Amino acid sequence: MADREGWRVEGTAARVHYEGEGDRYSVEYYAPSDCVVYWKVPPESGGETAVPVGRETVPTPLRERIRMDLDAAGVDPEVERRSL
């Protein structure tokens, strides 16, 4: 995942941040459990904490980008759809 734009790898996990249409997300991929977790990130000025959100609330273009990045990194893109 480290070769993909915006992704940072920390041990067996990888993270990318997305901002668009007024929403901010942090997306994490965990290799040991082969899963993707989406976090809704509040505005920096809000002082709130990021919270995990369901896939159905995440914009389709972002989900598609995550699947493309997984595929390009040699990870089955279907793991993005896996329920936790």
Backbone torsions φ then ψ of 16, nearest 5 degrees = -135, 150
* pLDDT grade for 56, boundaries at 50, 70 and 90: very high
For the entire predicted model, the pTM comes to 0.90
* pLDDT grade for 21, boundaries at 50, 70 and 90: confident
Distances in whole angstroms, Cα of residue 12 to Cα of each of 7, 30, 57, 61: 13, 6, 26, 25
